[in-house]
């Protein structure tokens, strides 16, 4: 159940509007550490999905920026050029030489909601 649905169900005023406004604020958090120290696993856990590649060897070799959006979109930035890419290419480029800056705009939907959406297609 979404916050909007809970507010409607229990006739709560103002909470949903404040929540939606808070989504407009951008907070930047950096994760730094030695290779294979669990940074990608931690981020995946916080996101509730396997977005970043994990392995016991050095894996994520490029800067990855993650933003919340209404739908999943993936981009690579090479200098001043930004190109949309597939999720598979996004995953593959994480292990390359770090030439690209990767950007993932992902839905804040839960894994259960994403699975229902995939099944309905």
Which pLDDT tens digit goes with each residue over 54-88? 877 676 678 899 998 888 999 999 989 999 999 99
**Helix %, strand %, coil % of the chain (to 5):** 35, 20, 45
Give the span between the Cα atoms of 22 and 17, in whole angstroms. Answer: 9
Contact 90, 104 (CB under 8 A): yes
Looking at residue 104, what is its pLDDT?
95
pTM of the complete model? 0.68
1 vs 64: which has the higher pLDDT:
64
Question: In the predicted model, what is the mean pLDDT of the chain?
Answer: 82
With a cut of 70, say whether residue 114 has pLDDT above it.
no
DSSP 94-113: TTS-S-SEEEEEEE---HHH
Segment 102-113 mean pLDDT:
78
């Amino acid at each position: 159940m979404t916050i909007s649905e809970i507010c409607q169900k229990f006739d709560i005023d103002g909470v949903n509007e404040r929540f939606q406004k808070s989504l407009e604020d951008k907070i930047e958090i950096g994760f730094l550490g030695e290779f294979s120290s669990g940074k990608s696993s931690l981020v995946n856990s916080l996101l509730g999905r396997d977005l970043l590649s994990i392995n016991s060897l050095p894996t994520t070799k490029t800067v990855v920026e993650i933003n919340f959006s209404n739908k999943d979109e993936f981009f690579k930035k090479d200098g001043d050029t930004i190109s949309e890419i597939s999720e598979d290419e996004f995953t593959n480029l994480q292990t390359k030489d770090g030439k690209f800056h990767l950007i993932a705009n992902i839905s804040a939907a839960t894994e259960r909601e994403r699975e229902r959406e995939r099944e309905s297609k």
